[in-house]
């Protein structure tokens, strides 16, 4: 089911609702990656990008490089503004 939800997120990474549903699903299962996903949402709207990036670095699931890669492919990048980054399909 997790892969299906992540695939759904990847279909429209600009839809915050999809990421929120995925984060909720992770949280309901006690998965610590839920906090990482929620911080991705916060990163999109915060004025304190450096603070959020620092928190993301602390939570980075080093044992889940494939998952993080899929999140980045979905346009949910923690290292920069994914909607303006050429690497992620933005401007």
Position 17 scores a pLDDT of 85
Q: What is the pLDDT of residues 10-27, one digit of tens each?
A: 777 777 888 888 889 999
Q: What is the pLDDT of residues 52-89, one digit of tens each?
A: 888 888 887 767 777 777 766 655 554 444 444 444 44
The three state secondary structure string of 5-71 is: HHHHHHHCCCCHHHHHHHHHHHHHCCCCHHHHHHHHHHHHHCCCHHHHHHHHHHHCCCCCHHHHHHH
């Amino acid at each position: 089911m997790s892969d299906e939800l992540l695939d759904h997120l990847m279909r429209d990474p600009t839809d915050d609702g999809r990421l929120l549903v995925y984060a909720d699903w992770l949280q309901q299962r006690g998965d610590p990656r839920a906090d990482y996903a929620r911080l991705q949402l916060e990163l999109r709207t915060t004025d304190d990008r450096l603070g959020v990036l620092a928190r993301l670095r602390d939570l980075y699931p080093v044992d889940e490089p494939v998952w993080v890669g899929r999140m980045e492919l979905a346009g949910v990048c923690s290292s920069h503004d994914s909607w303006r980054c050429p690497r992620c399909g933005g401007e």
